[in-house]
Structure 1
């Protein structure tokens, strides 16, 4: 049964003795803002009680992006950025409480992911900038954070984190996959066992290219990409990146797919270096589309429906190109009761609840860890 944004739906995960409220906060790889959800859980249902979305202040956004690369005085800069992000999270919490009419004491915990600035599970670490103790102090609510480290310690990728939640909301449907189009694209295969992995860039490279050439945060509706022409030679060179050929479990981020990565490939051929910026944008769009389609064809060939969420679901050109590339039905999660911008934030509310109830939500079939782990660390109010 499909459900509206405020309606009940199956929750999965651990049983609760009574109705509980949790907040989920997410600032993703795109680094454009904070999405928040206040959710009500009972033994069999989730209800979205309130949502909030706050753009990141430009100075904070710039610093978070800069911290993805080595630079001077990194430790102090990272600490200040973490405090700024926690304060911004606290503003989102205030909006959610005001919209729902709840007091801090009525919320069991906040799930706050933080901002990933390094993701190197192959080297045994992942780093999310966050100040969860500061957020707990500001909000007066316990905070669950650091969701990835335990899985990495168990030999996993620490990502993606949301497949267990996708299965809880959408159920086990072997002919259906969930596609999140954030900065990075990731797939959840809703079979048994549930599987999930990153496929490569979704919006991240396109956003960075638009910021460089349009001085805009992103390509609104994909209009700029639609005005260009995909260059097949450049596209073939981009797809030749060895990471795309790796088998899951796998995850990625700005550590690999940065503007430096793109410029290194553009500069390899004088013709590519002279391409119109709109043609490069069109090529980047096809890079995302074709690597997603190839991953579905290889790892979920019997897919009959792809459910799309994340900011890319609002990009008309992206969705149109996906519709042409995929031989199955393309829909958004909104058609199944889940607003596309709320999915990841609600997932972190669900993950916070899983932590509180001792439910292992990091799945070895997804991350490659030696065993399932309880995600996160708790910072009391």
Structure 2
């Protein structure tokens, strides 16, 4: 594909399970890439689907296969509703991440459901999806995938930080893009917020009200993952094995306070003072976390308009899909540790 204007949808479902992010985007390739977000929405999961996704890590293969088919149908119907409501025409492609159930790159395995060929038939549009599998097959982490978008769309910042289910960072070093997961964020904070009757810690209110427990904070900061060198990535398996074991011994409100401080410390450890930092993702609205980060680093923080904060991942998966259509590299070996840069993803037609 050689034309330079791409009318696409970017679709993302994160591990924090807040819903399906869908953004209608125009990507333009001239001397550099630029974009415009026309409309965007996060469509919350039904309680039953949210429960299934949360529990799926414990499902047997037959149940996973059934859920994959059910979720693909659910995702397709959700995308169709968005297209209809926003009267979107002439779509080049729907570029969809799917929803991660397993991520075990050390075992050469990652699974994002909702990436079945049937999706293209449901929405009657070309689909580009399943971006992680090929990278893992090339001995990469399969994550993070956003850094190519950081380079092409937000390259004027020294660092790009996403605060979602996990915190991940990307930056240029010796002409290479470096990126990795720093630590969990909302997958942990939301877990304990639910125990206190809320979906998430709005503005960091629980963290502010709780008391940081020094023994647990020390144990968190001593976890071996933080001493590993990039490329490296995290999944819920690691959170279940390490984080909850430490925090379940204290009250939920103190767990939130302690973990919020832990996140601020771990992020600050990765940053050089006086550099510029762009922060996006749902965790950006946790003002207590942002204030805690500011206490630990003198980096110059920029938080863009809400439209970008909330939809940057959907935007970049739209870009990943377009790069795949152009047969251009969308996965960087310097980021994932794969054996080579490559153009990842699969293309389905109705």
TM-score (norm 1): 0.86
Q: Separation in 2 of the partners of 1:194 and 1:263? A: 32
Q: Distance in 1 between matches of 2:294 and 2:111?
A: 35
Deviation sequence 1:178-222 (CA, Å, 0-9, x none): 1100001000114521211100111111111122x2132212221
Residue 62 (structure 1) aligned with residue 51 (structure 2): yes
Unaligned runs of 5+ in 1: 1-14, 268-272
Cα deviations by residue, 1:58-86 (Å, 9 ceiling, x for unpaired): 111111111123x4xx2332233323433
Aligned to 1:77: 63
Moved over 6 A (4+): none
Aligned mate of 2:191, from 202, 205, 208: 208
CA distance in 2, matches of 1:96, 1:40: 16
The Cα of 1:53 is off from its aligned counterpart by 1.4
Q: Name 1:195's counterpart in structure 2.
A: 178
Aligned counterpart, 1:5: none
1:218 maps to 200
For 1:87, what is the secondary structure of its paired residue? helix
CA 1:20–1:262 in 2, change beyond 3 Å: closer, same or farther? closer
The partner residue of 1:354 within 289, 309, 323 is 323
Aligned partner of 1:276 in structure 2 is 251
Distance 1:84 1:323, change over 3 A: farther
What whole-Å deviation, never above 9, does each CA across 1:28-48 have from its counterpart, x for those lacking one? 010120111111123233221
Superposed CA offset, 1:134-166 (max 9, x none) = 221111111111101111111111100000011
Higher strand fraction (1 or 2): 2
Structure 2 Cα separation of the partners of residues 188 and 92 of structure 1: 31
Residue 3 of structure 1 aligns with which residue? Answer: none
- Give the unaligned 5+ runs of structure 2: none
Residue correspondence of structure 1 range 1-381 to structure 2 within 5 A: 16-44=2-30, 45-69=34-58, 71=59, 74-98=60-84, 100-103=86-89, 106-171=90-155, 173=157, 176-191=158-173, 192-211=175-194, 213-258=195-240, 261-266=242-247, 273=249, 275-296=250-271, 301=272, 304-334=275-305, 339-381=308-350
**1:100: how far off?**
4.5
Partner secondary structure for residue 235 of structure 1: helix
CA distance in 2, matches of 1:95, 1:334: 26
Q: Which residue of 2 aligns with 1:10?
A: none
Deviation at 1:170, TM superposition (A): 1.4
Call closer, same or farther: CA 1:171–1:16 in 2, change over 3 Å.
farther
Task: Please tell me whether the aligned partners of residues 172 and 190 of structure 1 are also in contact (alpha carbons under 8 angstroms).
Answer: no
C-alpha spacing 1:341/1:129, structure 2 compared with 1 (3 Å): same
> Is the 1:24–1:349 Cα contact (8 Å) retained in structure 2?
yes
Please give the secondary structure, in 1, of the residue aligned with 2:15.
coil
Deviation at 1:18, TM superposition (A): 4.2
Question: Do the aligned partners of residues 18 and 169 (structure 1) sit closer, same or farther apart at CA in structure 2, a change above 3 Å counting?
Answer: closer
CA shift in 2, pair 1:278/1:208, >3 Å: same
Q: Distance in 2 between matches of 1:18 and 1:161?
A: 22
Q: CA RMSD in A?
A: 1.9
TM-score by length of 2: 0.93
3-state DSSP of counterpart to 2:219: helix
